Amino acid sequence: MGDRNFRLDAAFRPTRYVARLAPDMAARTFRASGHVDLVLDRPARALVLHAVGIEVQRSTLVCGTRRIAAAPTPDADSQTLTFALEHEAPAGPATLDVEWTGVFHDDLRGLYMAGVVAVTQFEAADARRLLPCFDEPSFKAIWSLSVEAPAGLAVVGNGRVASDTVEDGRRVVVFEPTPPISSYLVALVVGRLQPSPELVSRGVPVRTWSVPEKAHLAGFAQEIAGAVLPLLEDYFDRAYPFTKLDQVGIPDFEAGAMENAGCITFREVALLADRAKAPLSVQKRISEVVTHELAHQWFGNLVTMKWWDDLWLNEAFATWMAYKIVDLWMPGWRVWDGFEAGKAEALHLDSMESTHPIRSEVRNADEATENFDVITYEKGGAMLRMIEGWLGEETFRAGIRDYVRRHEWGNAAAADLWGALARASSQPVGEVADAWTTRSGYPLVCVERRGARVALSQRRFLQAADDDGLPETRPVPVVLRWADDTGVRETRHLLRGTRETLDLPARGDVRFACANRAGAGFYRVQYADEERAALARHAAQLAPVERMNLVADAWALFRTGAGTLASVLDLVVGLAGDTDYAVLGELVGRLEAMERRFLVDADRPAFARIVYGLFAPHFAKTGWDAAPGEDDPARLRRAVVLRALALVARRPEFAREARARLERFWAGDAAALDANLLDPAALCAARAGDAALFDRMAERSRTDPDPAAKRRMLACLASFESPAILGRSVELLLADTVPTQDSSIYFGALVANRAAQGPAFDFVRARWADVRRKTAAPMLARRLVESLGELTTRRVEVEALFDAQAESLSAVPAAVRQTRERLRLDESVRARAMPELSAWLRSRR
């Protein structure tokens, strides 16, 4: 065969797998035996299954009373085993009986060791590393698995434990059979794990597992699952489809989490936290991840895509649904404001030539893995949110329920979803959705208003400064939020043409018209000067996310050359008196980007004075310490203000105070630092820190049981700016202090530190083979490449590295293309921005 794009023959289908696995965790090998029940739609002289890295000791095909010898031949390129049959097998039922052995893997894929835990990770196509199987999502089957395991270790799988016995001195755990599921959703975990007390939510037993020393951090995830499971059942109008729910914290894990049916595996930082001590950002993130994986149990597991070109059906829906459900559970958290951060990344990538459509051709599992990115997740989720905003919540939900009901326990494609939404709404959903899922990019919607008449036009939004944008006729569901004498109102309009005009049903004068209500549209907006001024006058009537989008859109237009950096800075100054934490966070984010990328050293004092002048009045009100009974918005506002003054303005008094409070906090004084200040205070202290603080943080990164605290310390270790310490920071990249799962994240923090950029790049270039071994997993490799995009001033050297190491980066070609383009765009933007920023600062003196 010799082709990575090889697809299995749909004429031969599995119906049930029965397998007994005996892992040897010390030797990192396993032996196994079992069978696959099949249906042959036609006679066969050979059967082809997926398998890689396993050795078959015995294989026979049983057809009724006949036993046919089946000789296996592996093909490394197609990752298959061809079982040549001694005699032709007739059409009908058959059973392939097999014994085999294999090894654990070192790249966080297949079956691997994560500290004291053996765990599987099969998405997109790594079940084939554990057993011969039909490793494509359309081949759903029942799985009946059992495991031989040492006494004293936990054994967790997709189903409940049917029996736990001892046979010939060996412990054997047998799981109940699963319903029909795809191979990538199968999971096994064996190791030193402890479950939380069982929680029952509407009859579903829920447990959260962790290594014993972190068991005290499992309660929050239990609380989340118990709260959101009923909300998901209500949304889908369908009971949870599996018999139990286990959530398992894995000490070393490539992704954030994996939605295995009934046995969800997580990075510890995405699952475990002490809610009483965790920052709100950590609480929100864990809630979103848990809910995302639970949403998959219906959308992805119960109803599964036919092939990986519809990966977005799984991930975009779960992304959108997580925010939807967490917002129902915790409306005070305003999680949709946080959605803007991920959407912004997708908008940035999707305005590049090297982007890709939400739904694109996928020829093999490697290409599927590359599509686990912000286009699939965040753009896909934003597109669904935009369509929901156009159709209305109830209509959209009715369509989703119809889709799930029609396709449960089967496979579906995008057209099936659009058909269900169209039936529920009587709207041209397919026309709109196809335009957004099969075409890359998005429009810039231009808005001009004269009284109650609004002119809308669209063109392709591209970052390239020499491109005015291409005409677009994409159907854009625009929801306008506008105000007249009666108050603030809404109007929905499907913009189909290049330019269209509509009349608002106004009573009296129209004050303003915001063309992206609640930020739900996946597009940029450019307002005519008069309308931009009207929005500024009435900013208090805009939702926080709408005020955030004014800044984000101005920044995006500046990057293309259609706007100026001065206009962004003027907008930041105009909104700096806002008291909303999310709006202030948007302003600080833009100022951080300017401070890191566009400042010449001579301008740093002037820039710092401006930032201090904008945020010192806020600090005069917030101070360092929370007042008794203070609400969450006030705490989050304080954290944003500290970021501005300590990390952007770089005021030395804040660095000294941050370190003093951090030391008191470590000594047991919990009141020294509000949880929401831990990240900015620790980073601020690290930037100005000495060797003693570096050693302290390195030790805490190794010993603190709280995953978020460990992640915080790693970020700090990469942020020291002392020349005497930089070498130690860089060398940690290949040390055990930085776990495999965090290696690319750590490198990203290093190159975000302007003092460490040069040493970090030189180290990675000199130790490339070692770095690639540590980032062998595809997602880690992609993050490594993307992090190199921070090195704008060394673009030529980074591109030379890509050229020299093309073979070692062959699994992530899209990341390489995107990073090359990003480097060139950022180089151009930086060349324009630096003199603009200097001129603006001079004008403010």
The H or E element containing residue 839 is: helix 813-843
pLDDT reported for residue 714: 97
* 430-460 confidence digits (pLDDT tens): 999 999 999 999 999 999 999 999 999 999 9
9 and 47 together in one domain: yes
* 796-843 confidence digits (pLDDT tens): 999 999 999 999 999 999 999 999 999 999 999 999 999 999 999 999
Q: Which of 78, 62, 38, 93 is nearest to 70 (CA)?
A: 62
Is residue 845 in some structural domain? no
| pTM of the complete model | 0.96
pLDDT reported for residue 50: 97
68 and 186 together in one domain: yes
Is residue 837 in some structural domain? no
pLDDT reported for residue 468: 55
710 and 796 together in one domain: no
Radius of gyration of the chain (CA): 28
Last residue within a domain, chosen from 170, 191, 212: 191
**Domain count of the chain?**
7
* Alpha-carbon separation of residue 641 from 24, 49, 582, 595, 646 (angstroms): 53, 58, 11, 16, 8
Is residue 836 in some structural domain? no
One-letter amino acid for residue 64 of the chain = G
Contact between 701 and 668 (Cβ < 8 Å): no
27 and 143 together in one domain: yes
* Alpha-carbon separation of residue 701 from 28, 200, 705, 717 (angstroms): 27, 35, 9, 9
Residue 394 maps to which CATH number?
Answer: 1.10.390.10
Query: Which listed residue (254, 259, 288, 293) is catalytic?
Result: 293
Structure tokens at 719: 């942020």
17 and 118 together in one domain: yes
Q: What domain range is 150 assigned to?
A: 1-191
Is residue 348 in some structural domain? yes
One-letter amino acid for residue 773 of the chain = R
185 and 250 together in one domain: no
Is residue 22 in some structural domain? yes
> How many Cα atoms are found within 13 Å in the side-chain-facing hemisphere of 83?
29
814 and 782 together in one domain: yes
Last residue within a domain, chosen from 437, 472, 493: 437
d(CA 562, CA 547): 20
pLDDT reported for residue 365: 80
pLDDT reported for residue 464: 83
pLDDT reported for residue 750: 97
Residue 513 maps to which CATH number?
Answer: 2.60.40.1910
14 and 143 together in one domain: yes
Q: Flag residues of the chain having pLDDT under 50.
A: none
pLDDT reported for residue 3: 80
Contact between 389 and 517 (Cβ < 8 Å): yes
92 and 160 together in one domain: yes
540 and 453 together in one domain: yes
Is residue 838 in some structural domain? no
Contact between 378 and 343 (Cβ < 8 Å): yes
**How many residues are given for the chain?**
845
Is residue 557 in some structural domain? no
d(CA 696, CA 393): 51
DSSP state of 711: H
272 and 404 together in one domain: no
Last residue within a domain, chosen from 502, 523, 548: 548
Whether 293 is catalytic is: yes
- DSSP string covering 287-335: HHHHHHHHHHTTBTTTBEESSGGGHHHHHHHHHHHHHHHHHHH-GGG-H
Classify the C-alpha dihedral 167-173-176-177 as positive or negative.
negative
216 and 181 together in one domain: no
pLDDT reported for residue 201: 96
Structure tokens at 119: 């765990």
pLDDT reported for residue 466: 55
φ and ψ of 56, to 5 deg:
-90, 125
Structure tokens at 551: 């800044």
Is residue 638 in some structural domain? yes
d(CA 509, CA 728): 64
